[in-house]
Each structure stands twice: as structure tokens, then as C-alpha cells.
Amino acid sequence: MTTDPPLAALAGLLADATRATFCLALLDGRAWTAGELARHAGVAPSTASAHLTLLVDGGLLVQERQGRHRYVRLADPATAQLIEDLAAYAAPAPPPRTLKAATRERASAQARTCYDHLAGRLGVAVTDALLDAGWLQQRTGFALTDAGLRRLTDLVGELPTGRRPLVRACLDHTERRPHLGGVAGAALCRHVLDRGWAVRIGTGRALRVTDSGRAALRDLLGVEAP
């Protein structure tokens, strides 16, 4: 008697369109309520609850309760990386059917968060600028140079240490080129948002670069923000 391999169980969790939609939405790095995800995916609350239970039991999501509300988020940065990587290798999505959907998709392609780091054209442009400025080097993957570590620390403060990689190349699913992930990518994204250089558009992952952000990114790295 054989049992299904763990990989098959994991693939089964993401093989459902509703569960995949939930995981993609949670790539914004925030915790969502079950009701918010139900509305986002266009399913009934009871349906959303059943799917969320499977995702939590499968280890892709974690949950916490505050009063009557049940909040869920991706389990950790490694899970977010897995979801983003799978999205990058998936077949391109069909063209949007409405003007609203096209506008939302265009905004997301220009600038968005990928869990906790910058993605889209903005994320790739910042990564390219870091390479050109000598903050990053790219061989088999990304690595911070000594000068880059000093400059980044001066900009965002001390980088936390732990099991998570300091820098990581994350394949951008719209640009099909790598953007900066890892601890350094997360710290840079947090700095951009905290300084008001970019702001979130609605409740999704899309970002809008502000006028002050355009000036700061141009002066700091020579980046012409989309």
C-alpha cells in the first residue's frame, strides 16, 4: 500500500482556482479576513472558510483570531517565494475583459509588492540600478557588495539576521526578469513605503510612486520610476 507523496498534496492545494486566488492576493504581505478573501474571489463565505481551512491545515497559511474575525496570511517568506515562483512559470493570464480589470493589471505590472519586496517594472528598475551602482553583483545569483551593504545600511538601518537569505533573486512574473528579494529587498521596500515614496492602490498589491518618491529614487539610484 502506497501513500501520495507530500508534493502531490501540496500541488493539490494550489490546483483549485479559489485557493490559488487567495494565495495570490495574500502576496501583498498583509493579513486578510475570510470575508475579504471571499469577496475578492467572488465566492460564498462558507466556501471561502472551507478552502482556508485546507490551506491552513496544509501549512501554506497561518491564522489568528481577533474577536469575531479570522485573519489569515501566508505562512512565511519561503511560502510567498514559492507562490511567486509558480506564478512566474505559469502560462500568461488571458487578456482582461473590462476596462477596470485592464487598469488594475496595468498598475500592478508597473509597481507592486511581492509579499514584502518591490516587484513589477519598479522592482526590476531598482534592482538594475543597484547592479549598475555596484551595490549588488550578479553571478550565480545576487550578492551584496561590501560597498552595497554599507550604503544600504546607511539608508535603511541595520539589516536583521536569521535564516532568511540576505538577498535573493526573485523571478518577476510580469517582467520575466529578477527583482531583489530577501532581507535586503524587504528592508528597501519597507523604507520606500515608510517614507511615502510609494503608496498602495486600494487593497491590492499595486503601488503608485509619489512625486517625492520619483525624485528620491532618481537622486539616490538614477531610477526613472514607472
Which of the four CATH numbers 3.40.718.10, 3.30.450.20, 1.10.10.10, 3.40.50.1820 does domain 6-75 have? 1.10.10.10
Mean pLDDT of the chain: 89
Which CA distances in Å does 182 have to 21, 38, 47, 118? 24, 30, 34, 11
Mean pLDDT lowest among 5-9, 50-54, 116-120, 122-126: 5-9
- If one counts every other C-beta atom within 10 angstroms of the C-beta of residue 115, the result is 25
Tens-digit pLDDT profile for residues 135-162: 999 887 899 999 999 999 999 999 988 8
> Stretch 174-199: mean pLDDT, rounded?
93
| CA 88 – CA 83 distance, rounded (Å) | 9
Q: Where are the domains of the chain?
A: 6-75, 86-221
Q: How far apart are CA 209 and CA 39, in angstroms?
A: 27
Is the pLDDT confidence value at 92 over 70?
A: no
Q: Quick one: pLDDT at residue 3?
A: 66
Q: What is the pLDDT of residue 127?
A: 96
The per-residue pLDDT for 54 is 95
209's torsion region: left (phi>0), alpha (psi -120 to 50) or beta?
beta
pLDDT given for residue 173 in this prediction: 82
Q: Provide the pLDDT confidence category of residue 55 given band limits of 50, 70 and 90.
A: very high
